[in-house]
Amino acid sequence: MAMQVALGVCRVNPSPLMTIKNVSVRCLATQASPKSKAVQDKTGKNIVFVDGVRTPFLPSGTGYQKLMPHELARHALLNLSRRTGIPREAVQYIVYGTVIQEVKTSNIARDSALCAGFSERIPAHTVTHACLSSCQAITSGIGLIASGAYDVVVAGGVETMSDVPIRLNRNLRSILLKMNKAKTPMAKLKLLASFSPKYLAPELPAVAEFTSGETMGKSADRLSAAFTVSRQEQDDYARRSHQLAHEAHEKGYLTDIVPFPIPGSSKVISRDEGVRVSDPEKLAKLKPAFIKPHGTVTAANASFLTDGASASIIMPEKKAKELGVKPKAYLRDYIYVSQDPVHQLLLGPAYAIPEVLARAGLTMQDIDVWEIHEAFAGQILANLKAMDSDWFAKTHMNRSEKVGVPDLAKWNTWGGSLSIGHPFAATGVRLVSHAANRLIKEGGRYALVAACAAGGQGVGMIIERHPDA
């Protein structure tokens, strides 16, 4: 491949290897190897993923718009207990993720658990790791179990983008706080005199990267340009995601969903409502959403703002046997990575995948199921092209040769975040649940979960199908 430096990454000429047309994909890694490798248990506990559930994922501003985050989380937690048959009193610790914090529930893990009827004696804490938050919840649970502190841990995440906190102007906040401390009428009048009408302009939650001031959409546009990912490639990949998600719904594969009855109405939501299979011609007519007029990222090939919650339960295999439950998978290994947040913001999977494979002693060919977070179609295709580039491997990854391309016939075959939706902190559990369920459905042994996140971070996780699943 001919290539040249661009935007701190690389520019790779388009390759037929990565072209996606009409949901068919050509790739390198098509030869399956015998699954005789055993991944070492590093915790001494053989920690298992028993099961995971989630609410249907909905575009923000729709069915969940009148609900608060803890109400969605409560539903996931309640149904996790019902689904697994594990009594709430058996849970010893709860870790929950969220990104855009609701100020009324400062520790949403604790507040949601109490609302779901979990004992007040069960400690809980909230984590935030951008789009990796519920992966962080799971791996925090792994750490708690590995240390011997607890056996039964619930991990999940929730995000409600329909009602995000909007703050008063910083100058107005300052006046109000000082007013509360002013002791004399003259002091209060002096503060009021400093007021300006422009202080009434509210402060919306930041949608830009802290380090670069750039929106993730613009970064995805630049990344797509750097790896010469065309608009048509992105639209084709997005259409693939929606088509596969639609088929998974129709075939009843998405069993992690627990229907959500909307309070105060007779409506029950039972499926993800962002899945749309559009004609290629309609996708091609959409205008660029971020870099205008020449950008390639549109509303159709980017993940959308989403509301939803998820929850899972993990424990040592020995404890699962004691409780009489059949786990779905072993949680074998994981790694978090970080890189340049300006030029490589969304390349987390390209870095995390080879790292976690090496830690587990596996190769690409050993992976039967790939569940990778789709922030943008261009981001996914750029990661795949980075993994298929010797230059990128040598220049940025300290590797002697390229990582290679996964078998895309095993890649997000039930759809992904582009179609299912992406409630920031809930997606991690969704990825792991789908990976475990696909291993069972497809008869595989190993799955790899990976995702990118704000700040130039990423995660890679290896799970193995449990023999009793």
**Active-site positions?**
131, 452
DSSP assignment letter at 262: P
Burial zone of 14 (CB within 10 Å; 0-12 exposed, 13-18 middle, 19+ buried): middle
123 in helix, strand or coil? coil
Q: How far, CA to CA in Å, does 145 sit from each of 60, 136, 245?
A: 35, 14, 34
Q: How many helices and strands in the chain, by DSSP H and E?
A: 14, 16
Angstrom distance (rounded) from CA 329 to CA 317: 10
Question: Long-range pairs for 108-116 at CB < 8 Å and ≥24 separation?
Answer: 108/69, 108/70, 108/73, 108/158, 111/70, 112/69, 112/70, 112/73, 112/74, 112/77, 112/158, 113/77, 113/154, 115/70, 115/71, 115/73, 115/74, 116/73, 116/74, 116/77, 116/78, 116/81, 116/88
Chain-centroid distance of CA 5 in Å reads: 30
Instruction: Decide if 299 contacts 419 (C-beta within 8 A).
Output: no
Helix, strand and coil percent figures for the chain, each rounded to 5: 35, 20, 45
Instruction: Decide if 439 contacts 465 (C-beta within 8 A).
Output: yes
400 in helix, strand or coil? coil
